[in-house]
Amino acid sequence: MNKRSILIWVGVLILAVSTCGPSEEELAATSLAKTAAAASPTPSPTPIPSPTPRPTATSTPIPPNPILAYNYVAEVDYDGFTITIARVLVSEKWYMVNAIGGFDEVVYDGSYLVGEIIFTIENNTSESITVYPTFGTVVVNSMRVDLSDFVLVDLVWNNTSGEYSPGSAVTGGIWFGIPGVRFNDVNRMTIAFDAPRNEDGALGEDFYVEIDLTIHPWNPLPPELRALNP
């Protein structure tokens, strides 16, 4: 092969290589695309927001006040002379001191609790009759209280003890101390006093009422008693 033939074949090979391979522009474009792809972060799935949990509703129980009251718990009729226990109340002493004041007399010393009884007494007979409910006794659980110890205290109102003329009526109350009993333990109360009397003697059996206070009832003071209660 002569020198001229060798040069021709070299030219053909160069042309073939340059025709089959990518151009410089294509190589540059490919390099840029790879660089951009590498620089771009791989997209991650968009997170689905979960609902914000609502706070659990909680209610703080309000502790009950240390007081119970029961309206119109008993009525005893002595042939037209009627004695009604219109209201009984038991409370921790500090609570009533804050509510109405008082209870600073010596007779209340040592009493963790105080109580009140409201009597309504009506004489619908034709004769005078005497009765002394504020000289009776009260027993709370097993603790006996003599109401006569409290008759001279200012917290006695509209005295219900004495003589009732025909057609007369009185509603009045007496407060008293209750030593030796805690409020949460109160479950019953008894009220007892001598039977009413006329000029011939007692009208019947002595007054005696037992009241169940186990559930610690709370009855608001009714309007007809509120108007009388100082």
Spatial contact of 210 and 188, defined as CB atoms under 8 Å apart: yes
User: What is the rounded distance in angstroms from the CA atom of residue 100 to the CA atom of residue 115?
Assistant: 13
- 176: exposed, middle or buried (Cβ count in 10 Å: 0-12, 13-18, 19+): buried
Query: What CATH number does residue 107 fall under?
Result: 2.60.40.1240
Contact 134/155 with Cβ under 8 angstroms?
no
Residues 8 and 79 in one domain: no
Q: Which domain holds residue 83?
A: 67-226
- The two tokens of residue 74 are 């008993």
What is the chain's alpha carbon radius of gyration, rounded to the nearest angstrom?
Answer: 49
Q: What is the mean pLDDT of residues 206-229?
A: 92
Tell me the pLDDT tens digit for each residue of 103-112: 999 999 999 9
Do 85 and 184 belong to one domain?
Answer: yes
| Among the listed residues 142, 141, 160, 139, the one whose alpha carbon sits nearest the alpha carbon of residue 151 | 160
Is 74 found in the same domain as 30?
no
Tell me the pLDDT of the chain averaged across its residues: 80
Q: State yes or no: pLDDT of 23 exceeds 60.
A: no
Distances (CA, A) of 157 to 61, 202, 224: 36, 26, 15
Q: Do 83 and 155 fall within a single domain?
A: yes
How many separate domains does the chain show? 2
- Burial class of residue 22 (count of CB atoms within 10 Å of its CB; 0-12, 13-18, 19+): exposed
13 shares its domain with 93: no
Flag whether 101 is in a domain. Answer: yes
Within 8 A by CB and 6+ apart from 103, the residues are 93, 96, 97, 114, 155, 175, 177
- List residues bridging with 92 in a β-sheet: 113
Q: Is residue 183 part of a domain?
A: yes
Same domain, 97 and 175: yes
In whole angstroms, what is the distance from residue 90 CA to residue 52 CA? 50
Once rounded to an integer, what is the mean pLDDT over residues 2-31?
Answer: 42
Q: Does a structural domain hold residue 45?
A: no
185 & 120 share domain: yes
The answer to the question of residue 202 being in a domain is: yes
Q: For residue 130, is it within any domain?
A: yes
**Residue 192, pLDDT above cutoff 60:** yes
Strands in 129-131's sheet, in edge-to-edge order, are 162-164, 129-131, 197-198, 201-202
- Is 144 found in the same domain as 31? no
Cβ 191 vs Cβ 152: under 8 Å: no
Q: Which pLDDT tens digit goes with each residue over 57-101?
A: 333 344 479 999 999 999 999 999 999 999 999 999 999 999 999
What band does 230 get if pLDDT is binned at 50, 70 and 90?
A: low
More confident residue, 205 or 30: 205
How much of the chain, in percent, has pLDDT values that exceed 70? 72
Q: pLDDT tens, 129-174?
A: 999 999 999 999 999 999 999 998 877 888 999 999 999 999 999 9
| Beta partners for residue 87, in sequence order | 71, 118
Asked if residue 171 and residue 77 are part of one domain, the reply reads: yes
> Are residues 159 and 102 part of one domain?
yes
Asked if residue 26 belongs to a domain, the reply is: yes
Pair 85, 108: CB distance under 8 Å: no
Tell whether 76 and 30 lie within a shared domain.
Answer: no
* 113 and 30 within one domain: no
- Quick one: pLDDT at residue 189? 98
